[in-house]
Amino acid sequence: MPPFSSLFSSLFRPNYAQKLSLLATLPLVVAVAAIALLVANQSRALAEREIKALERQLIEAKKAELRNYVTQARNAFSHIYGLAAPDDADAKERVTQILSAMIYGQDGFFFVYDYDGNNLVSPRQTEFINQNWRGLTDSQGTPVVDTFIEQARQGAGWHSFMWEKPSTGEEAQMVTYVLGLQDWQWAVGTGVFIDDVLASVAASRAEVEARVRRTFIYIGGITLVALVLVFASGMVLNIRERRLADAKLKELTQRVFDAQEEERGRVARELHDGISQLLVGVRYALDNTRRRLMRGDHDGASDPLDKGIEHLGIAISEVRRISRDLRPGVLDDLGLGPALKALTDDFAARTGIETDFTTVVFRNRLDQDAKIAMYRIAQEALTNIERHADASHVSIDLRGHARGATMRISDNGRGLPQKKPEGEPGIGLRNMQERIDQLDGTLRILSSRGTQSGTVIEATLPLSHLLPPGNEAAPKRVS
């Protein structure tokens, strides 16, 4: 059983397909998360503005109600207060009785404090009556009676504080409206508890949070479905691409085998048809020379010996040609320009086709892969010209430029035939295209038939395959 650490690392070490899936899903997850946060923040901000507006409206409605209560109460005793003197105790008693009787709802009542802080009316909390409450504060330290007196001295005012609710005995937020009777130095007021308003606001906020959570759940569900779809489509594409890649790999492998067999067959034919025949002729000449020498015919032995030497020289040249075709030494020793020059000279000598080769001062600045690819493309092109073009003139031009290097091969032959029904190029052209594709280059083939017939093959390599000045590949020295 493998250890836990190796099992953990194998589970969390993604393969290529998993990396592609992560690369596809990670931006989606980040985008959805950003959208969800933005929606949540916008929803909270909008809901908070609406809740605050609702809270203000409800409190304003409560305040208007309180002002209406105080106005009604003043109207109830205005006929007494308006005619009474500042020290009319009887009038004050009658007013306190009226205010004590004015209770409403479960918790509504009127209170009266004189400017010294003494409570004169408190029908629902009678323990406050006839006691001085200057300096009284609520549970949060907010002054109560002192604020009442200050507002009464100024004429009227609003005040909010925590106060014990008579119906429940628990503290709640209370809003009061206080009116000053300046002749008697009284602070008359009433209040209303707004815990119902605060409860409504809290319920609204809780509902907003619940909606935000539901929105997150919906977005998460949609994201999960999207991720499943992306993963499933990625798996389908991965399986499909893998099958295509396997098929292409098998095709490429088969083509490599075919190319190897074709090259082996070509070398075998050249060895059998060329060198083998020459060596047989050399052996026959040497045998003939030996027999004549044994007979003492020294003069007659020189002719077959000369022929044998001539055939042996030709065989040596053929071996060198085959070796040069397989791997030209001049390509490694002197560079691409001299190698192409030698290739064109040999092509012209062998085929009799007039061949021109031109190049700028190119030196040896192409990297090794680029040199081999350019040489093989030229070699393949000349082979196709020799076999199929029926041309009388071929020109090859090689030069470097600001975008890289370009080799242009043109002939005045019959041009390329019409494409095959399946639209596939020939093996030679396909080999050229594959070689140039491996180096991120481009291959252009222009062909025409008729009076202005001919074919132009243009291979271009990018600047990345040119060595910087001073870093040219040094030619190898052969000792």
Strands 454-462, 404-411: pairing kind: antiparallel
The contacts of residue 67 (CB under 8 Å, 6+ apart) are 177
pLDDT, tens digit (0-9, with 9 covering 90-100), for 11-30: 456 666 666 667 767 777 78
- By residue count, the chain amounts to 479
Please tell me the distance from the alpha carbon of residue 72 to that of residue 68, in angstroms, as a whole number: 6
E strands within 298-392?
Answer: 354-359
Q: Give the end-to-end CA distance of the chain in Å, rounded to a whole number.
A: 61
In the prediction, which pLDDT does 7 show? 47
Instruction: Look up residue 143 and give its DSSP letter.
Output: B
Listed residue (317, 311, 246) closest to 277, CA to CA: 311
Domains of the chain: 49-193 (3.30.450.20), 330-465 (3.30.565.10)
Q: What is the DSSP string of 385-446?
A: IIIII--SEEEEEEEEETTEEEEEEEE-SS-PPPPPTT-PPPHHHHHHHHHHHHTT-EEEEE
**Is a pLDDT exceeding 60 seen at residue 282?**
yes
Per-residue pLDDT at 275 exceeds 80: no
Q: Assess whether pLDDT exceeds 60 at residue 96.
A: yes
Mean pLDDT within 1-11: 50
**Residue 125 has what pLDDT?**
86
Q: What DSSP string runs through 343-358?
A: HHHHHHHHH--EEEEE
Selected residue with higher pLDDT from 474 and 156 = 156
DSSP state of 118: B
Mean pLDDT of the chain: 81
Q: What number is the average pLDDT over the span 145-160? A: 91
Q: Which of 427, 441, 430, 471 lies closest to 370, judged by CA? A: 441
Looking at residue 267, what is its pLDDT? Answer: 73
Quickly state the pLDDT bin for 293 (edges 50, 70, 90).
confident
Chain segment 169-195, per-residue pLDDT in tens: 888 888 999 999 999 999 999 988 888
Work out the pLDDT band at 423, boundaries 50, 70, 90.
very low
Note the maximum CA span of the chain: 179
With 90 as the cut, is the pLDDT of residue 217 above it?
no
Model confidence at 416: pLDDT above 70: yes
